[in-house]
Amino acid sequence: MSAESSYNILITVKGVVQGVGFRPFVYREALAYSINGFVINTPDGVVIEAHGENTDLFVHAIKTDLPPRARIDSITVEPCEDAEYEGFEIRESTLGGASAAIPLDSALCPACEAEMDDPSNRRYRYPFINCTDCGPRYTIIQTPPYDRVRTSMKHFTMCPACEAEYTDPASRRYHAEPISCPDCGPQLHFCDNSGNAMTGDPVDLALSLLKEGKIIALKGLGGYHLMCDATSDSAVETLRLRKHRKAKPLAVMFRTLEQLERYAQISEEEKKHIVGSIKPIVIVRARKDTDLSSLIAPSIDRIGVFLPYTPLHRRLFERIDFPLVATSANISDEPILIRRSEIINRLGRVVDGILDHDRTIINALDDAVIQLAYGKVVMLRMGRGFAPHTLAHTVSLPKEILALGAHQKSTIALGVKENMVLSGHIGDLGSVEADGYFERTIQTFKRFYESVPEYWVHDLHPAYYSTRYAVETKKEHYGVQHHYAHILACMAEYGLHEKVLGFAFDGTGYGDDGNLWGGEIMIADTHGYTRIGCLKPFALLGGDKAIKEPRRIALSLLFERYPLEEVLSLNSPVIDAFLPHEIRTLHHMWSKKINAPLSSSMGRLFDGVASLGGFVQTLDYEGQGGMMMESFVDESLSEPFSFDVCEGVIDLSKMVGEIVELTTLPDPKGVIANRFIATVMAMMEHFSILHPQLPLAVGGGVFQNRTLMERLYRRFGEKRFYAQQQTPINDGSIALGQLYYAVHNLPSPEDTGGFTNG
C-alpha cells in the first residue's frame, strides 16, 4: 500500500540504525511533523508506530535526512490500527544479541568540535567529548546490545549533568553511551617507556617530547598510535630503525585540512572522505618540495593522510604546527596493540613516552586505509569506522557459517540469520600475536552474535593457520579456492548471482592443481567456476626469496625468452643486479626445476616487470614494485606490449623482449610503466571481447593499483564493471567470498550430507 494517504502507519527499518543517533533523530522528526506514537529497537530492526496528518512527510524525512553514520538497508511501511498516543516517545529496546549491525566508531563531529573550542562550554578542551553522532562504538563494546553497561564506559558513573543529557530525548547526547565530562569521565595520564607516571599535564608532556623529535605512543580508538614529527628526518629514521620498518610508507596526520593541502594534492572526492564522519587514512598524491621528511614514503609519489579523529588527537595539535607520523603501534605486520602493558613490554624500546587514559579498548581495530580511483573508493584496509561490515543477505540462513579467510591481511566473516558480517583487518597470520588476535576475533564474533557456527569455510592452502584452525574444529568444513573467493567477494558486495567474467589478479594463492595461482580469468557464479585463462606460469627462483627479490622473477622471465649465453650478454638492469656466476647458478635451478615453483601470479609479474624496467631489484614490502612503477605513470598515450594468448594461456615472452629493448634507451621508465598497464588492460579486453554478454568482476591485490583501476573504470564504465568499494579488494575479502559461497551451497535442512570437506 502507499503511505501517502494513511493516518496510521507502522514503519520497519533495517540497516545500521543502532548507536548512530537514529532513534533520537526519529523522535525529533516526529516532533517536527506532529506525529504521535513511538520508536523502538527490536530484533527485527527499528519499529516506528506513527499517527498523524503528516506521515508521508515524516517517512520521507526518515529516508532522506538520516544521521551521518546511519544506513537504511530496507524500510517497509504498512497501515496499522488507529491508537491514542500522547505525543511521541522512545521506548526501551527489546533487542537480542544476534539481530542487527554492530554500531561503528565515528570521528569527532563538528558540533562536538565547536563545543571543545568554546571556553564557556563545560567540555571545553575535553579529550573524551562525544555525542550520538560521534565517538567510540565497536571498540568499547563487550557484548551487544549497545548500552553503556556493556561497554568499557560502565566503570564511569555519570554525573548529574551528564545524566540529564543522556535521558533527554531532545539532547544531542540522548543515549550517547560513552557520554562523559571532565567531572565524571576517563582521565589522561602520561608515563615513560617503563610505565612510570610522570607529573605534569599529560598533553604538555607529550608535546614537549614530540617537539624534541621523540616518539610517543598515544591511545586512540582501536589501539595505540606511534607518533613523531613528520618533518624531522631524524625522528622518522629513529622510528623506522626501532620499529624495523625499512621503507613501507607511514601515514601522516595533519592539524587541519588547510595544512594537509599544503602537503598533498587532493581531489574533491578525496576531500570528502578526509573530512567526513570516519576520517580514514586516504592515500593521495604527495606534493613535491615540502618540508615533510623524505623518509615517510621513500621513492613513491603517494602518501597516506588523515585528520585528527578523536578529541585527544585534536588536543595534540592545539600547540604544534608540524604534521605527525601516526602509525599503528605494532611490530611489522602484527596486530595493533591496545594495552599499556603491551606497549611497555613490546615497544618499550621504540617509544619515549606514552600518552594514555583509563577507558579500556575492548576490541582492537586499525585505522581504515582507502584510496580513490575515478572517484570510487578502493578499500585497502578494513578498519575503524568501516568494520565490522554487515551485508544483508536475501534469505535467512538455516545454519550459522564462519569463514576464516586467507593468511595475509586476515579477516573473518560470519553468516548469521540474514546477515553476512566481515571483520576488520587482523593482520598477517603466522605469529603468536596475530594468531591470538585471529582467535580472539572469532570469539568476539561468536559472543556478539550469540553464534555457534556449524559450517566452517577456509582457503585451500593446507599450511595456512586459518585452514588448520578450521580443520581442527572437527566441524563440517569446506575449502574454497582463493581466486574464486576473490570473485565471490566482489559478487557478495553487489549481491550478484548470475555468471560473471572474473579477473582475480593478486600475489599468490593455492590453486586447484596445487600450483601457485594469481593471474586467473574465470567464468564464475555462486556455485562454481571455470578457469578460462591465466598467465603462462613462470618459475619463482628460490621460492619465497623471489617474493623479496623481483630480480629473480625477471631473470626467470629472461630465461624463458633467451638462451643463457644471450641472457648473460644482455644490457639490462636485471643482469646488472647479479654477478655472472649467480646467473649461471640460478639458470641451473631454473632448468632443473630445483626450488623453482611455478606461478601464474599477476602480482609477481608486476614485480618482475619492475625489475626488468630497472625500477627496483629487491623489495622492502609487498606491492612496492607496483607502487614504484606507478610513480612513473603519466597520461601519455601508451600502446600495449605484444603478447600471445593460446587456449587462454597468456604468453608474455614478446613483452619481455620489448622491455629489454626499451631499457637501452634514455629514460625509459615512464614508457615502460604506461605500456605495461596498457598490456594488463589489453589482456582483460581480450577476454571481455570473447564474452561480451558477461559482466566483469575483479578482485585481488593487483587492483590496489590506482592507475589500473582508473583506466578500468574509464574503459568498462560502471554498467558491466564491478569492483569492490565497501570491502577490501585484496585478501582482506577472502573470508567474505568464502562465506558467499557457503551461503549459496549449504545443504537444505532436510539434506544430511552434501556439504563436506574440500
Instruction: Confirm or reject binding of residue 109 to Zn ion (CB under 5 A).
Output: yes
Task: Give, in order, the Cα–Cα distances in Å from 47 to each of 4, 29, 52, 73.
Answer: 19, 15, 16, 14
Residue placing its CB nearer to Zn ion in the complex, 130 or 363: 130
Instruction: Confirm or reject binding of residue 48 to Zn ion (CB under 5 A).
Output: no
Question: Which string of x and - marks every residue 118-137 that binds Zn ion (by CB under 5 A)?
Answer: -------------x-xx---
Residue placing its CB nearer to Zn ion in the complex, 161 or 197: 161
Residue placing its CB nearer to Zn ion in the complex, 131 or 534: 131
Span from 151-159, 196-204, 231-239, 425-433 in contact with Zn ion (CB under 5 A): 151-159
Q: Pairing between strand 216-219 and 224-229?
A: antiparallel
Quote the least distance from Cβ 175 to Zn ion, whole Å.
13
Residue placing its CB nearer to Zn ion in the complex, 10 or 159: 159
Quote the least distance from Cβ 313 to Zn ion, whole Å.
14
Residue placing its CB nearer to Zn ion in the complex, 111 or 463: 111
Q: Report d(CA 26, CA 59) in Å as an integer.
A: 10
Burial class of 231 by CB neighbour count within 10 A (0 to 12, 13 to 18, 19+): buried
Quote the least distance from Cβ 21 to Zn ion, whole Å.
9
Binding Zn ion (rule: CB under 5 A), the pick from 112, 338, 387, 712 is 112
Q: Which of 367, 371, 131 is nearest to 273 (CA)?
A: 371
Spatial contact of 251 and 304, defined as CB atoms under 8 Å apart: yes
- At residue 155, what is the residue type? H
Q: Report d(CA 149, CA 178) in Å as an integer.
A: 10
Taking CB under 5 A as the criterion, which residues in 159-198 touch Zn ion?
Answer: 159, 162, 181, 183-184
Task: Give, in order, the Cα–Cα distances in Å from 694 to each of 381, 496, 688, 690.
Answer: 29, 12, 8, 10
Residue placing its CB nearer to Zn ion in the complex, 17 or 131: 131
Residue placing its CB nearer to Zn ion in the complex, 122 or 211: 122
- φ, ψ at 154 (rounded to 5°): -60, -20
Quote the least distance from Cβ 111 to Zn ion, whole Å.
5
Q: Report d(CA 667, CA 420) in Å as an integer.
A: 50
Spatial contact of 667 and 692, defined as CB atoms under 8 Å apart: no
Q: Which residues is 328 bridged to in the sheet?
A: 225
Quote the least distance from Cβ 135 to Zn ion, whole Å.
6
C-alpha of 87 from chain center: 43
**Per DSSP, which regions of 169-240 are E strands?**
188-191, 216-219, 224-229
Quote the least distance from Cβ 726 to Zn ion, whole Å.
24
Residue placing its CB nearer to Zn ion in the complex, 165 or 366: 165
Span from 8-16, 108-116, 650-658, 739-747 in contact with Zn ion (CB under 5 A): 108-116
Residue placing its CB nearer to Zn ion in the complex, 68 or 597: 68
Quote the least distance from Cβ 75 to Zn ion, whole Å.
25
Quote the least distance from Cβ 166 to Zn ion, whole Å.
9
Quote the least distance from Cβ 23 to Zn ion, whole Å.
16
Q: Report d(CA 44, CA 42) in Å as an integer.
A: 5
Residue placing its CB nearer to Zn ion in the complex, 116 or 742: 116
**Cell numbers linked to 409:** 591481511
Spatial contact of 341 and 406, defined as CB atoms under 8 Å apart: no
Cα dihedral 277/340/252/423 (nearest 10): -50
Taking CB under 5 A as the criterion, which residues in 304-343 touch Zn ion?
Answer: none
Taking CB under 5 A as the criterion, which residues in 356-375 touch Zn ion?
Answer: none
User: Which runs of consecutive H residues, i.e. helices, occur in 549-668?
Assistant: 550-561, 564-568, 573-576, 580-592, 602-612, 624-630, 653-662
Residues in the chain: 758
Q: Which residues is 134 bridged to in the sheet?
A: 131
Residue placing its CB nearer to Zn ion in the complex, 115 or 366: 115
Q: Which of 733, 136, 162, 179 is nearest to 487 (CA)?
A: 733
Residue placing its CB nearer to Zn ion in the complex, 133 or 710: 133
Q: Which of 180, 177, 166 is nearest to 129 (CA)?
A: 180
Quote the least distance from Cβ 164 to Zn ion, whole Å.
10
Instruction: Confirm or reject binding of residue 278 to Zn ion (CB under 5 A).
Output: no
Residue placing its CB nearer to Zn ion in the complex, 41 or 310: 310
Residue placing its CB nearer to Zn ion in the complex, 176 or 619: 176
Quote the least distance from Cβ 25 to Zn ion, whole Å.
14
C-alpha of 120 from chain center: 39
Quote the least distance from Cβ 161 to Zn ion, whole Å.
5
Span from 79-87, 104-112, 224-232, 362-370 in contact with Zn ion (CB under 5 A): 104-112
Residue placing its CB nearer to Zn ion in the complex, 166 or 721: 166
Sign of CA dihedral 19, 727, 384, 131: negative
Q: Report d(CA 320, CA 313) in Å as an integer.
A: 12
Spatial contact of 438 and 410, defined as CB atoms under 8 Å apart: yes
Span from 111-119, 259-267, 384-392, 454-462 in contact with Zn ion (CB under 5 A): 111-119
Quote the least distance from Cβ 148 to Zn ion, whole Å.
13
Q: Which residues is 252 bridged to in the sheet?
A: 305, 325
Spatial contact of 34 and 85, defined as CB atoms under 8 Å apart: no
Q: Which of 254, 214, 218 is nearest to 236 (CA)?
A: 214
- At residue 383, what is the residue type? G
First to last CA, the chain: 48
Quote the least distance from Cβ 558 to Zn ion, whole Å.
59
Q: Which residues is 535 bridged to in the sheet?
A: 650
**Cell numbers linked to 595:** 626450488
Q: Which of 32, 175, 10 is nearest to 92 (CA)?
A: 175
**Cell numbers linked to 386:** 568501516
Q: Report d(CA 281, CA 79) in Å as an integer.
A: 45
Quote the least distance from Cβ 357 to Zn ion, whole Å.
16
Question: Which string of x and - marks every residue 694-723 that binds Zn ion (by CB under 5 A)?
Answer: ------------------------------
Quote the least distance from Cβ 134 to Zn ion, whole Å.
3
Quote the least distance from Cβ 58 to Zn ion, whole Å.
25
Residue placing its CB nearer to Zn ion in the complex, 134 or 141: 134
Q: Pairing between strand 216-219 and 188-191?
A: unpaired
Q: Which of 529, 414, 418, 517 is nearest to 460 (CA)?
A: 517
Question: Which string of x and - marks every residue 548-577 that binds Zn ion (by CB under 5 A)?
Answer: ------------------------------
Residue placing its CB nearer to Zn ion in the complex, 130 or 410: 130
Residue placing its CB nearer to Zn ion in the complex, 174 or 741: 174
Q: Which residues is 416 bridged to in the sheet?
A: 419
Quote the least distance from Cβ 181 to Zn ion, whole Å.
3
Under rule CB under 5 A, how many of the chain's residues touch Zn ion?
Answer: 10
Contacts with Zn ion by CB under 5 A lie at: 109, 112, 131, 133-134, 159, 162, 181, 183-184
